[in-house]
Amino acid sequence: MLYETRKLGMSATGGLLIAFLIISGVVLTGILPTTSAKGLLIINVKDDPAKLNELWLNISAVKVHRAGEGNETWKSIPIVATDPFDLLLLENVSTVLAAGELPVGNYTEIRLQIANAWANTTENSHQPLKVVANGWMKLKIHFTIEDTPVTSVLIDIDVNEQPILSSGKLHPVAKVTVD
């Protein structure tokens, strides 16, 4: 009887071990859906001082690059500031440009698509601007999204006035900081 109890116990242990290995293998290969934690990202934008009267931007898309995600590395962030805005009004303040939940992880780049831009100067009102780099502003920055706190990124856009005034081109350069 002792022999049969021991045999039954060993069989049960072996069966549990095999079941555990099968379930672990299925979860690790991604066959079963797993829930992933998400954190909130808020992207603010502000301006360095410029000599233009107004500089209007209409940003139509914001994307962030997640490190190590294969073909799905770019995540879109919903735009909050959907109307064009005068960047020069943001000299000492910032405004929320986009905000949305992202999977927890490391991110390495932010891209802003400027759909259109125009400047108002004393000589020319509503001067359309050609945005360089096919309208995309690419910002290299490393930040981490965590599951509980809010991650805040501040994009400080520096306006180079000379190309705007001389050739009607917008060459935005920005400094990005993470809170």
pLDDT digits (tens, 9 = 90+) for 144-162: 999 878 999 999 998 888 8
Residues 6 or more apart in contact with residue 148 via CB below 8 angstroms = 39
For residue 77, give both structure tokens. Answer: 């962030």
In this structure, the answer to whether residues 83 and 10 fall within a common structural domain is: no
- Please tell me the distance from the alpha carbon of residue 142 to that of residue 163, in angstroms, as a whole number: 29
Contact 137, 174 (CB under 8 A): yes
Are both 8 and 64 inside the same structural domain?
Answer: no
Residues 6 and 65 in one domain: no
> What per-residue confidence (pLDDT) applies to 2?
45
Q: pTM of whole model > 0.75?
A: no
141 and 61 inside one domain: yes
Assess whether 20 and 51 both reside in one domain: no
How confident is the model over 7-54, as pLDDT tens digits? 544 554 555 445 545 555 555 555 555 567 888 898 888 876 666 899
Q: Which amino acid is at 105?
A: G
Residue from 44, 46, 48 nearest 62 by CA: 44
Number of domains into which the chain is organized: 2
Kindly state the DSSP code that residue 19 receives in the 8-state scheme: H
Same domain? 85 vs 107: yes
Q: What is the pLDDT of residue 47?
A: 74
Judge if 55 and 17 occupy the same domain: no
For residue 17, what pLDDT is reported? Answer: 46
- 23 and 92 belong to one structural domain: no
Query: What is the residue type of 4?
Result: E
At residue 34, the pLDDT reads 59
Q: Are residues 95 and 129 in the same domain?
A: yes
**pLDDT above 50: residue 88:** yes
Q: Which residue has the higher pLDDT, 71 or 56?
A: 56
Q: Which residues contact 4 (CB under 8 A, 6 or more apart)?
A: none
Cβ-Cβ contacts under 8 Å for 67 (sequence gap 6 or more): 73, 105, 106, 107, 108
Cβ-in-10-Å burial (0-12, 13-18, 19+) of 117 comes to buried
Same domain, 42 and 30: no
| % the chain with pLDDT above 90 | 45
* Domain match, 68 and 134 both: yes
* Interval 123-136: pLDDT, tens: 788 899 999 888 99
Whether the per-residue pLDDT at 56 is higher than 80: the answer is yes
H/E element holding 136?
A: strand 136-145
Give residue 77's pLDDT. Answer: 96
Structure tokens, 49: 């001082």
Is the domain of 98 the same as that of 26? no
Domain of residue 146: give its range: 38-178
Mean pLDDT for the stretch of residues 71-80: 88
